Amino acid sequence: MTVIVTDTGFGPDTWTAGYEGNTALDLPSDTNPVELVEQLDADVQMIRINFPSFADGRGFTIARQLRLSGYTGHIRAYGHVIADQYAMARRSGFDDVEISEDLAARQPETQWLARANWQQHNYQSRMRGGSPAAA
């Protein structure tokens, strides 16, 4: 069983279209994002990108390239993503994160919610003068 993490916390998987046919793709972290964009079928509604280790950040690049190329479907990170990476995942273009129940037990919902305000408190807004620390 897995746990889905969104900006509102832990929840069930609401993806109902399934993974059969061309509606969804499961991608390994070594997928070349440029080649993927060139071959992406218009029917793909969801892309799940694997994170085999919290130290493997290639999935962030894949998601970002998909968004920059105009993909508007659902992008989910799955595997070993940790709470500290949630804000980065959202900024990169992921809609949610899928984690194991074991990881959810080690990093409870409160740890993920502490990073759910991913649109604020990032270094880019501070550099633009968006916080008192920049004054």
> Which residue type is seen at 85?
Q
Burial class (CB in 10 A: 0-12, 13-18, 19+), 41: exposed
Q: Give residue-wise pLDDT tens across range 22-51.
A: 788 889 999 988 888 777 877 888 999 999
Query: Quick check: pTM over 0.85?
Result: no
Q: Give residue-wise pLDDT tens across range 100-110.
A: 999 999 999 99
Q: Which domains does the chain have, with CATH numbers?
A: 2-134 (3.40.50)
